Structure 1
């Protein structure tokens, strides 16, 4: 990969946002490892779900509720 210098301060806000999006899209999940705290929290949530699966809700249902609240 070549190196390109960009004077970010000369970019418009929309150009900077586009740059951020391109950088973000260039990453894969393997490029962003979980922190130990994140892994611990995921393990805790998974254990809680396995202990009482009926407490869980489908993601679509949760998202629909959030969207309804936001109007």
Structure 2
């Protein structure tokens, strides 16, 4: 027995915001196959996110990051 779109939507809307966001990301991703470069970038982004969450690296304020980039290319 399958669930109707309306019932599924009602269940999805009862989820907490973070879980709804994950669901939306998965649904959108299901429409387009990922290219190898996109997979590589997503893998890198996930690894960097995990490093920040684990305290392995520190975040840099955006103004400092921009100043560093400008200093390197000047």
TM-score for the superposition, normalised by structure 1: 0.43
TM-score for the superposition, normalised by structure 2: 0.42
